[in-house]
Structure 1
Amino acid sequence: MKIALYNAKVYVERERFVEAVLVEDRKIKAIGTNEEILATADIDEKIDCEGKTVIPGLNDSHMHIFNFGERMCQVKIGDCESIDEMIDRCKKYVEENPDSVKHGLYAQGWNQDYFTDSDRIPTRFDLDKISTEIPVVLERICGHILTTNTKTIELLGIDANSPQYPGGTFEIGEDGYPNGIFAENACNYAKNVIPKADIEQRKKMFIEASEYAAEHGITTVQSNDLGTIVFDYPEYFKFFKDIYNSGEGIIRYRHQISFETVEEFKDYIENGEFKNGKYDEDSLIQLGPLKLFKDGSLGARTALVRGGYKDDPTNNGIEWMSEEVMDEFCKVASDAGIQVATHVIGDGAVEKTIDSYEKTFGQEGNKLRHTLVHCQITDKALLERIAKLGIVVSYQPIFLDYDMHIVEKRCGKELASTSYAFKTLGDLGAKIAYGTDCPVEDCNPFPNIYSAVTRKDSKGFPEGGFYPEECVDVYTAIDAYTEGSAYMEFMEGKKGRIKPGQLADIVVLDKDIFTCDPMEIRDILPVMTMIDGKIVYKK
């Protein structure tokens, strides 16, 4: 099958564009002028792009697509401006969907900093107004803190004298009873009270989420689902293979896999998927890195910060994983030739994770491309160390939309000025990939690119950008989202550019992202998405 896209502005590399591209047998066969490409014999389909801009398929370097699929089916609480509004929406949802919530109500998305009447975190007393008959679990947008109703606490069987969960906490209220607020790993215990979606429901959610991603120009997701959202590893490794073997999987999917213990990880190296899994080199589904968590989130004040929070000085955040356990995970991974990607947000988490990584580096340095995911709070010394060691960073520029309003309060202006350092780290020579951490943020890549280029929130604040010296240009942002994310998965020679020999992952845009007003970038949408040489979305 030969497909020619012509009469286009095809982005090849910085300041280089061509008019047309020829796709054949899943790959880009040639690029050039309209005349050169249309002169090719036996073209099966000719697509007139009508002068539109064409870029490589965008590659989300870190997200949770299962969680996003769930969110698409939940009561929407992300834009609630008060606890009362959230309660009212949930009560209405329970009344209108009795079969869906008969075993409990779960939703994710609230953010106390968006509440206009009070910025307090909701408690069990609030959620008891939704229901006292079924468990109710409402998770903060970051996924690092949640609130339950009293029924959930009763089903967990905990009280003030119960031991805390490993790697997480539940708060005790003034009345001497758990108040419903759970943080970090304790959240998983609360969420497990409500039955998870079954295989068929997961399949429907995954396909719908994949279609949404493709409609927004995402052609690859590097997704952390196993070990965070689902835990039956054999069943879900088979789940993915069945979907892709049947042809129902349309986007490229690379596993980022979490394990609770080093022993469990070792077993999967010696006896499980890392030993027995078969993945063709260019197939749509790939086995990826070990995914670890070092700390929490800035919004929940659970990110691990070295100097304590400026607005909570006795709090340094939560260290999810001890140095000893992290060192062991990294050694086992490196000995087995497996990449490691670690969630790090606070500067304390960044430093300690670099320490653990560096202990595994030999003369070849970071040959496994160990990665820092998020890497938000940094000083200049940390940035220089990251670049010197060749550690990959998966940035989520869209986090600035919210974080710019709290980071100076949390960390102080000096540290804020060297954080979210998209340009500085790139100038130092580090390898950078972009992602969204969806569903923490929507996986739509264009608001993400807008954030990197303008460093403004969705309302255009502040006028000049938040520490504007860290703004990047459009070329840099797109390259991070394509070639940079491909580098993170050892695929930079095979995808991420529109060049002969690369996989045919291509997006046609409704607006020229290179010349439009930067304020308009967030509203750009694809009119066509091609993955693996097949058109999977057309407006």
Structure 2
Amino acid sequence: MALDIVFTNGTFHTQDPDRPVAHSVGVHQGKVVSLDDELSPELFARTVDLKGATVVPGFHDAHCHLSFLGESLVQLDLRPAAVATMGELIATVRDAAQQAEPGEWIMGQGYDQNYLDGEHPTAEALDSAAPENPVWLWHNSRHMAVANTKAFELAGYPQRKGFTVPEGGDVPLDDDGAARGLLQETARSIVSGVLPAKTTAGVADQIAAASDAAVAAGITSITEPGLGDPSNIGQCPTDLAAYQLAKDQGRLHVRATVMPYMTTLHPVDPTGDTVAEDFPGEDQSFGLDLGIRSGMGDDWLRIGAVKVLSDGSLIGRSAFMTEGYAADAEQGVENVGYLQFPQEWLERRLIAAHANGWQLAAHAIGDGAVDVVLDIFEKAQEQYPREDTRHRIEHFGVASDEQVARAARLGVVPVSQGRFVNELGDGMAKALGEKRTRLCYRMKSLVDAGLVAPASTDAPVVEYPPLSNIHDMVNRRTASGAQFVPEECVSVDEAVHAYTVASAYASHQEDVKGSLTPGKLADFVVLSEDIYSVDPTTIKDIEVTATVIGGEIMHGNL
């Protein structure tokens, strides 16, 4: 019986240290079965000539909100590339309102106040553009949003008054004591509860649309952090079912590891009796229904770590810091940000999840939050020792030398975003000041400390194409062209390794993907140029000519 397919006449950079370069790869039943002349091409039913092209393993985005990326494809595009001024943003909302029915929601996302003279859209400005429609605009960080008066009214707060600001959030007020429109962090829940409800089928449509876009960019797998709690992160309580539906329909075209949000975990009594307590004791389980935890699934869809936010964002100046933000200090304001949840809340739940076998993934951007999370991880391991936990800190945005060394000692996986340097770097530098910026989104320091540091984008917070991300990891320049801590630049090989082997490691999957090694999944990307030999300042211009997943050509013509 013939084997499936062999790809010949290419330069495969395998990311396997025992066989770093090969010129042909044989595939059968979705996996690599041979390199070079280990098996004769005559044994394969089909041969594809790559005509000398450069090939790398498939890119795995270790922190990508795929479902939200799909949502962004159908909402108003308010990214700086689409709207350059506040006037253009308001005009975009006005145009949408003129085409909408009265009472229909106007939804948009991607605005960044750092490109709008430091200002957020106000409810009054949105009212003038859409007087008959509720408006909800996501900030590009998705840690805050802006709503107009109609939206507040639907939430039960006429004149944008009468609400209670939840802990871990903030609502700026005008001179009359009414909300200006901005809802920061947990305060999003003041209005988000009345947004149009998402359905399982609708979220599946978003996942399908985003997965097609991802494949075209060379992404063969992703990890989506935080499902199931739309008041925090997630689309709807049936997010996992939406992924399953997209897979069953044959529309999930990237491999997906999904993280439930921490608030979806609850006490699970193995006796079947109702658990009276609101939090488990040492003799009770803590997890999803049916006791599901990290690792369940297959090569296309599996459950990974449990995700929780500990703090906010740098450009929103809500990330929890050990020192105040320089930009606020210039205005005479001491602001160190804040935690999303009380530290005790975080500690009890993260330790319970650890004790019940979960891999942990805590969003921590500020160095104050990094300290809190490292303390919890270390305490969890002391109380309930486990081998090879690979607990993750998502972003690891600002970290001192001591924190980097401690993370290495604890075996923590820091999941940073190189693309932030370009798209958000100018705003982050302004918020932090020169001294603190040196500690921001470190990369080379992580590698040199022995940490396994994967690559990710946090899309749709920033653009998702891996080659743009690799470009920024290697070059580290902001949108204005300024250098951003150039000593943290990594090599091309280190960046590709981060996007392949290291990202697979972050989700305990390096034994099945990340390198082109016999026995592993046949996921790879064909490039228009050799990423290892081009001028590093042109990496972003390289094109993905084909994406192969499981030996199947999912994008491009070969």
Q: Fold match, TM over 0.5? A: yes
**Aligned residues of 1:103 and 1:195 also touching (Cα < 8 A):** no
The amino acid of 1:478's aligned partner reads V
Task: Return the match for 2:5 from 3, 17, 41.
Answer: 3
Deviates more, 1:472-481 or 1:273-282: 273-282
CA apart distance, 1:368: 1.6
**Aligned residues of 1:296 and 1:304 also touching (Cα < 8 A):** yes
**Aligned residues of 2:424 and 2:478 also touching (Cα < 8 A):** no
Go from structure 1 to structure 2 and tell me whether the alpha carbon gap of 1:39 and 1:510 turns closer, same or farther (over 3 Å shift): same
Go from structure 1 to structure 2 and tell me whether the alpha carbon gap of 1:415 and 1:135 turns closer, same or farther (over 3 Å shift): same
CA apart distance, 1:104: 0.9
**Aligned residues of 1:140 and 1:146 also touching (Cα < 8 A):** yes
Q: Which residue in the other structure is 1:383 paired with?
A: 404
Deviates more, 1:268-277 or 1:406-415: 268-277
Report whether the alignment pairs 1:91 with 2:94. Answer: yes
The amino acid of 1:411's aligned partner reads L
Report whether the alignment pairs 1:394 with 2:395. Answer: no
SS at match of 1:256: strand
Aligned counterparts of 1:287 and 1:365: Cα–Cα separation in 2: 19
Could you give the per-residue CA deviations for residues 124-168 of structure 1, whole angstroms, max 9, x where no partner exists?
A: 111112212221011211111221111112222235453212432
Report whether the alignment pairs 1:353 with 2:355. Answer: no
**How do residues 79-118 of structure 1 correspond to structure 2 at under 5 angstroms?**
79=80, 80-96=83-99, 98=100, 102-115=103-116, 118=117
The amino acid of 2:303's aligned partner reads L
Go from structure 1 to structure 2 and tell me whether the alpha carbon gap of 1:82 and 1:222 turns closer, same or farther (over 3 Å shift): same
CA apart distance, 1:248: 2.7
Identity %: 28
Task: Return the match for 2:319 from 303, 325, 339.
Answer: 303
SS at match of 2:181: strand
CA apart distance, 1:243: 2.6
The amino acid of 1:284's aligned partner reads W
Report whether the alignment pairs 1:241 with 2:262. Answer: no
**How do residues 74-473 of structure 1 correspond to structure 2 at under 5 angstroms?**
74-79=75-80, 80-96=83-99, 98=100, 102-115=103-116, 118-158=117-157, 160-224=161-225, 225-228=227-230, 230=234, 232-233=236-237, 235-260=238-263, 263=266, 272-273=288-289, 275-276=291-292, 282-313=298-329, 314-362=334-382, 367-458=388-479, 461-462=481-482, 465-473=483-491
SS at match of 1:361: helix
The amino acid of 2:532's aligned partner reads F
**Aligned residues of 2:111 and 2:140 also touching (Cα < 8 A):** yes
Go from structure 1 to structure 2 and tell me whether the alpha carbon gap of 1:44 and 1:503 turns closer, same or farther (over 3 Å shift): same
Aligned counterparts of 1:231 and 1:508: Cα–Cα separation in 2: 33
The CA RMSD measured in Å over matched residues stands at 2.4
SS at match of 2:14: strand
CA apart distance, 1:188: 3.5
The amino acid of 1:316's aligned partner reads V
Go from structure 1 to structure 2 and tell me whether the alpha carbon gap of 1:425 and 1:230 turns closer, same or farther (over 3 Å shift): closer
Go from structure 1 to structure 2 and tell me whether the alpha carbon gap of 1:366 and 1:402 turns closer, same or farther (over 3 Å shift): farther
Q: Which residue in the other structure is 1:489 paired with?
A: 507
**Aligned residues of 2:6 and 2:44 also touching (Cα < 8 A):** yes
Go from structure 1 to structure 2 and tell me whether the alpha carbon gap of 1:366 and 1:107 turns closer, same or farther (over 3 Å shift): farther
The amino acid of 1:415's aligned partner reads R
**Aligned residues of 2:264 and 2:288 also touching (Cα < 8 A):** no
Provide structure 2 residue ranges, at least 5 long, that are not aligned to the other structure: 269-278
The amino acid of 2:452's aligned partner reads K
Could you give the per-residue CA deviations for residues 41-87 of structure 1, whole angstroms, max 9, x where no partner exists?
A: 33122111111111111111112111111100011111222211101
Aligned counterparts of 1:239 and 1:139: Cα–Cα separation in 2: 22
Q: Which residue in the other structure is 2:272 paired with?
A: none
SS at match of 2:42: coil
Q: Which residue in the other structure is 1:476 paired with?
A: 494
SS at match of 1:527: strand
Aligned counterparts of 1:474 and 1:398: Cα–Cα separation in 2: 15
Could you give the per-residue CA deviations for residues 81-110 of structure 1, whole angstroms, max 9, x where no partner exists?
A: 2211101111112223x25x8531111111
Provide structure 1 residue ranges, at least 5 long, that are not aligned to the other structure: none
Report whether the alignment pairs 1:59 with 2:60. Answer: yes
The amino acid of 1:359's aligned partner reads K
Q: Which residue in the other structure is 2:273 paired with?
A: none
Go from structure 1 to structure 2 and tell me whether the alpha carbon gap of 1:270 and 1:383 turns closer, same or farther (over 3 Å shift): closer
TM-score (ref. length: structure 1): 0.92
The amino acid of 1:138's aligned partner reads L
CA apart distance, 1:432: 0.7
**Aligned residues of 1:365 and 1:390 also touching (Cα < 8 A):** no
Go from structure 1 to structure 2 and tell me whether the alpha carbon gap of 1:108 and 1:122 turns closer, same or farther (over 3 Å shift): same
The amino acid of 1:412's aligned partner reads G
Aligned counterparts of 1:339 and 1:271: Cα–Cα separation in 2: 12
Aligned counterparts of 1:406 and 1:102: Cα–Cα separation in 2: 35
Deviates more, 1:344-353 or 1:186-195: 186-195
Could you give the per-residue CA deviations for residues 169-205 of structure 1, whole angstroms, max 9, x where no partner exists?
A: 2222112212111100111432332203433332222
**Aligned residues of 2:172 and 2:179 also touching (Cα < 8 A):** yes
Deviates more, 1:7-16 or 1:423-432: 7-16
Q: Which residue in the other structure is 2:275 paired with?
A: none
Aligned counterparts of 1:279 and 1:334: Cα–Cα separation in 2: 14
Go from structure 1 to structure 2 and tell me whether the alpha carbon gap of 1:76 and 1:232 turns closer, same or farther (over 3 Å shift): closer
Go from structure 1 to structure 2 and tell me whether the alpha carbon gap of 1:400 and 1:125 turns closer, same or farther (over 3 Å shift): same
Deviates more, 1:158-167 or 1:120-129: 158-167
**How do residues 37-52 of structure 1 correspond to structure 2 at under 5 angstroms?**
39-52=40-53
CA apart distance, 1:120: 1.7
Go from structure 1 to structure 2 and tell me whether the alpha carbon gap of 1:161 and 1:276 turns closer, same or farther (over 3 Å shift): closer
**Aligned residues of 1:505 and 1:533 also touching (Cα < 8 A):** yes
Could you give the per-residue CA deviations for residues 347-382 of structure 1, whole angstroms, max 9, x where no partner exists?
A: 111111111111011496662211000111111111
Q: Which residue in the other structure is 1:31 paired with?
A: 35
TM-score (ref. length: structure 2): 0.89
**Aligned residues of 1:160 and 1:172 also touching (Cα < 8 A):** no
SS at match of 1:360: helix
CA apart distance, 1:508: 0.8
Could you give the per-residue CA deviations for residues 265-291 of structure 1, whole angstroms, max 9, x where no partner exists?
A: 979966744625897764300011110
**Aligned residues of 1:62 and 1:223 also touching (Cα < 8 A):** yes
**Aligned residues of 1:4 and 1:38 also touching (Cα < 8 A):** no
